[in-house]
């Protein structure tokens, strides 16, 4: 596999879950992967596992809430691997609660990472790509970007912003050779899901896992590797005619759910 041969790719939140799967897939496809995260231990483990597979990857510790730090990191990535070709805005945090149950602190915390963090990466990434002649950006949005999900007030707000930022960047930079698309997953089976169930339903984890799985019409949760495959396609030459799109990967959640 060499869809992304010699491409420089930044993946935010690449230490675990969907981001980890994207880093592994991109490295197998020939990309030089810059893994951005704040979880040093998990990131180093991911780097080691990719290198054991023969992939090229480097870890850059970066707090996406800090705009100056993000710009410095993008510059460091270019100095390490060369011009930036791919940016995957995957990093994000979750919150459960209605508008009444969401504190101002909760809202600010999610906004800082899920919205402002993506903004910082888009700004630095677009600047780098316009200077080098173009590239591909994929923002990880959510089915919550377009549908009402119970008790996800703050999370849905941030993912709606991710989707509209995608459309805006695609519109503004199509003439500069930059493609920008969103991927919108439904529930994906990650360590976050397992941790959530253990914390909130310690006596009913299997039952609740099955219940959450069945909310997708296809009858299961998605796998991180499936999201990684879609991101790989969108960043490859095969998707050269795709920009400004929102690509659901949801087991039929949006179109088939009653």
Backbone angles phi, psi at 89, to 5 degrees: -90, 90
105-142 pLDDT per residue, tens: 999 999 999 999 999 999 999 999 999 999 999 999 99
Q: Helix (H) and strand (E) counts for the chain?
A: 10, 7
What is the distance between the alpha carbons of residues 38 and 126, in angstroms, rounded to a whole number? 22
How far are the Cα atoms of 79, 155, 209, 243 from residue 195, in angstroms, in the given order? 37, 18, 11, 35
Contact criterion met (CB below 8 Å) for 153 and 215:
no
The fraction of the chain above a pLDDT of 70, given in percent, is: 99
Contact criterion met (CB below 8 Å) for 239 and 179:
yes
What is the distance between the alpha carbons of residues 113 and 65, in angstroms, rounded to a whole number? 6
Residue 199 region by backbone torsions, left for phi larger than 0, else alpha for psi between -120 and 50, else beta: alpha
Instruction: Specify the CATH architecture of the domain 8-186+223-252.
Output: 3-Layer(aba) Sandwich (3.40)
What is the distance between the alpha carbons of residues 54 and 52, in angstroms, rounded to a whole number? 5
Q: Which among 148, 143, 94, 87 has a CA at the least distance from the CA of 119?
A: 87
**Which pTM does this prediction carry?**
0.97
Contact criterion met (CB below 8 Å) for 72 and 46:
no
What is the distance between the alpha carbons of residues 151 and 132, in angstroms, rounded to a whole number? 43
Q: Of 111, 119, 155, 173, which is the active-site residue? A: 155
**Token pair in block for residue 11:** 């993946």
What is the distance between the alpha carbons of residues 180 and 182, in angstroms, rounded to a whole number? 7
Whether 111 is a known active-site residue: answer: no
Give the pLDDT band (50/70/90) at residue 1. Answer: low
∠ CA 184-66-132, rounded to 5°? 70
What is the distance between the alpha carbons of residues 132 and 126, in angstroms, rounded to a whole number? 10
How far are the Cα atoms of 56, 103, 104, 107 from residue 25, in angstroms, in the given order? 11, 38, 38, 33
CB proximity list for 158: less than 8 A, separation 6 or greater = 92, 110, 111, 114, 115
Average pLDDT over all residues of the chain: 97
What Rg value do the Cα atoms of the chain yield, rounded? 18
187-244 pLDDT per residue, tens: 999 998 999 899 889 999 999 999 999 999 999 999 999 999 999 999 999 999 999 9
Give the pLDDT band (50/70/90) at residue 258. Answer: low
């Amino acid at each position: 596999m060499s869809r992304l041969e010699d491409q420089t790719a930044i993946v935010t939140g690449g230490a675990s879950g969907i981001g980890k799967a994207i880093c592994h897939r991109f490295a197998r496809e020939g990309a030089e992967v810059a893994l951005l995260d704040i979880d040093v231990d998990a990131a180093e483990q991911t780097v080691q596992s990719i290198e054991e597979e023969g992939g090229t990857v480097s870890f850059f510790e970066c707090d996406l809430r800090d705009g100056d730090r993000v710009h410095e990191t993008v510059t460091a990535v270019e100095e390490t691997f060369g011009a930036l070709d791919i940016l995957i805005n995957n990093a994000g945090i979750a919150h459960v609660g209605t508008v009444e149950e969401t504190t101002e602190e909760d809202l600010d915390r999610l906004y800082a990472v899920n919205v402002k963090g993506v903004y910082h990466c888009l700004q630095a990434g677009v600047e780098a790509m316009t200077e080098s002649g173009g590239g591909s950006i994929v923002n990880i949005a959510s089915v919550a970007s377009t549908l009402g999900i119970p008790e996800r007030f703050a999370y849905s707000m941030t993912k709606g912003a991710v989707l509209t930022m995608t459309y805006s960047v695609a519109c503004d930079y199509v003439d500069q050779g930059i493609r920008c698309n969103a991927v919108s997953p439904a529930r994906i089976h990650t360590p976050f899901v397992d941790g959530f169930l253990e914390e909130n339903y310690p006596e009913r984890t299997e039952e609740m896992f099955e219940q959450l799985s069945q909310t997708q019409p296809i009858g299961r949760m998605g796998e991180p590797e499936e999201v990684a495959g879609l991101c790989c396609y969108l960043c490859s030459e095969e998707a050269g005619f795709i920009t400004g799109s929102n690509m659901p990967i949801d087991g039929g959640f949006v179109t088939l759910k009653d």
